[in-house]
Structure 1
Amino acid sequence: MLIVQNIRLSRILRNTWQVDIIMIISCTAAYLLRTFLFKHHFEVPAIIPTVLGTAIAFFVGFNNNQSYDRWWEARKIWGGLVNDSRSWARSVTSYLTQNDMSDEEFDALKRRMVNRHIAFLYALKANLRSATDETYHLYLDQHEDIETNLHTNVPNAILNLQSWELEQLSRKGMIDGFRFMEMNQLIVKFCDGMGMSERIKNTIFPTTYNYFTKIFIWLFVVSLTLVISQYAGPASIFLGWLVGFVYVSTQINGMSLVNPFENNSSAIPLNQITRGIEINLLEMIGAKDIPDPVKPINGEYVL
């Protein structure tokens, strides 16, 4: 996620240079065609780029709105996971009754349940980014690690372990019925957050919207150059590119939000969010080896 107010020109050019070259070539070709071919036969009506520009503005605006909706929904889901994760650790440290357990066993139980949740978050993050992240192994016991690796959906398997242990605690009388329901509801919320995140990741933004927007922008740039070349001469190549650059940059900006869980500067900062939860939960159980927060890359964005 970008954290700076102003975007560097180098970043803009890095994201658009290929399209810029295509537009410059298209504008140059349109200018040459109009100068040496169309000029002596007919003039392109100005109404054509006017209508195309208006239509493209609606297309780009719709695409960007839908893209931002996906991004913002993903951010709200993970914001909910942050709050519920803290509530889970607070419940573990406050609701459980020690009974006949020793202090060491009771502390180990609370650490295990909190660590298991941290493992769930790291496993979910790895699934959403389709990346390999071995961090979650560090927070699981050996037998739990082996068991979860037998499942295709590791975070879901970790939630199964949480539910099973919570049920065992209820049977042993270490948690009363009301508090059991509250903690079980938190596990349900974790499952809901996981499912909603997977829905966003696995639902592909309609390809036709992006494809036709690119085609329409190209037609608009060409037709605009054909029209203004009769007034601006060779400068129409630059003017055509300049107007097209505005549309293309706006469209690329929107499309960069379509997949909010990708590992890039425009996506949700899952590394930062997960690490923040990890730090909070470890502090709540009195852990000593607390990792450092995720730092911005080049002071520009966080992942």
Structure 2
Amino acid sequence: MLTTPNIRLSRIIRNTWKVDLIMLASCTAAYMVREFLIANHFSIPGILPTLLGTAIAFFVGFNNNQAYDRWWEARKIWGSLVNDSRSFARSLVHYTGSEKEISHRMIRRHIGFLYALKSYLRGAINDDTPTRYLSEHDEQEIAGASNKHNAILSLQAKDLQQLSAQGHIDGFKFIELNEMLTRFCDAMGMSERIRNTIFPTTYSYLTKVFIWLFVVTFTLVISETAGVFSIPLGWLISFVFVSTQINGMSLVDPFTNNSAGVPLNQITRTIEINLLEMIGAEEVPEAIKPINGEYVL
């Protein structure tokens, strides 16, 4: 996630240079066709790029709105995980009294759950961070599970039942803590839904095609009066549309490990620090710092 109000020009160029070259070549080809093939035969009506520009505005606007909705929903889900995680740890610490072994184990296991969920969402199969907070017994229990973060929640439910059976928490506290586990499961499911639901390919594909057609017809039309300057003018218009479209599409997969995604590293580290401090852990990691003072992952 970007943390600065301004974006460096170098970053914009890195994200768009390939499309810029394609559009520049298309503008040049359109000018050459107009100049040497159709200049003396017929002219392109100006209404054509106008209609295409209107259609593109609808497509780009729809794509960007839907992409931002996906990103914002993902951010709200992980924002709720921050609050619920703090409440979960605080309740375990204060509700269980002198019984620290199980409660501290559950808090550490919850950190492992968050890291396991983050690894799944980002496709980091070989990430061993979750195991740092799991006991050897826990690792054996979830070894054969295809969904390890869900298996960790099952272990949490077992320990919660044990706290209740041993009389460390009463029925009301048990219900409250179990509801938190349910909320963790809900957040997990909603995150998985966003990750596994592909944004309709036709929308992004047709938007690219329409932008290309618009740039070509725009260059053909203005080349009658602007001459060779229609090439840079056509590229400039294409740069505006392409940059807007790429900006929206960068939010389609909010859990990707890039500067536009939800900062899962920062969020999980924040929860990790807060929970470890609650149980008085000796080793607490440092907070995630922005990369180059520009973005966090």
Give the conservation status (yes or no) of the 8 Å contact 1:169–1:175. Answer: yes
Equivalences for 1:244-263 in 2 at 5 Å?
Answer: 244-263=238-257
Equivalences for 1:177-196 in 2 at 5 Å?
Answer: 177-196=171-190
Tell me the equivalent position of 2:165: 171
Give the conservation status (yes or no) of the 8 Å contact 2:219–2:234. Answer: yes
- Decide which of 208, 213, 216 is 1:214's aligned counterpart: 208
- Decide which of 123, 136, 157 is 1:130's aligned counterpart: 123
Tell me the equivalent position of 2:49: 49
Q: How many matched pairs?
A: 296
1:107 CA displacement: 2.7
- Secondary structure (helix, strand or coil) at the match of 1:299 reads coil
Give the conservation status (yes or no) of the 8 Å contact 1:67–1:254. Answer: yes
Q: Quick one: distance in 1 between partners of 2:68 and 2:294? A: 20
Identity of aligned residues (%): 66
- Decide which of 200, 205, 211 is 2:199's aligned counterpart: 205
> 1:44 is matched by which residue type in structure 2?
I
* TM-score between the two structures when normalised by the length of structure 2: 0.99
Tell me the equivalent position of 1:241: 235
Give the conservation status (yes or no) of the 8 Å contact 2:102–2:159. Answer: no
More displaced stretch, 201-210 vs 109-118: 109-118
1:146 CA displacement: 1.6
Equivalences for 1:219-234 in 2 at 5 Å?
Answer: 219-234=213-228
Equivalences for 1:89-104 in 2 at 5 Å?
Answer: 89-98=89-98
> 2:222 is matched by which residue type in structure 1?
I
1:108 CA displacement: 2.5
Give the conservation status (yes or no) of the 8 Å contact 1:110–1:285. Answer: no
Give the conservation status (yes or no) of the 8 Å contact 1:89–1:284. Answer: yes
CA RMSD after TM alignment: 0.7
Give the conservation status (yes or no) of the 8 Å contact 1:71–1:268. Answer: yes
Q: CA offsets, 1:185-211, max 9 Å, x none? A: 000000000000000000000000000
Q: Quick one: distance in 2 between partners of 1:107 and 1:226? A: 75
Q: Quick one: distance in 1 between partners of 2:8 and 2:181? A: 42
Q: Quick one: distance in 2 between partners of 1:169 and 1:145? A: 21
1:260 CA displacement: 0.2
1:97 CA displacement: 4.1
Q: CA offsets, 1:106-145, max 9 Å, x none? A: 3322221100000000000000001132111010000101
Q: CA offsets, 1:42-77, max 9 Å, x none? A: 000000000000110010000000000000000000
Q: Quick one: distance in 2 between partners of 1:97 and 1:134? A: 32
Q: Quick one: distance in 1 between partners of 2:218 and 2:263? A: 40
- Secondary structure (helix, strand or coil) at the match of 1:152 reads coil
Q: Where does structure 2 lack aligned partners over 5 or more consecutive residues?
A: none
- Secondary structure (helix, strand or coil) at the match of 2:39 reads helix
Q: Quick one: distance in 1 between partners of 2:279 and 2:44? A: 73
Q: Quick one: distance in 2 between partners of 1:107 and 1:196? A: 32
Q: Quick one: distance in 2 between partners of 1:29 and 1:124? A: 49
- Decide which of 69, 94, 114 is 2:107's aligned counterpart: 114
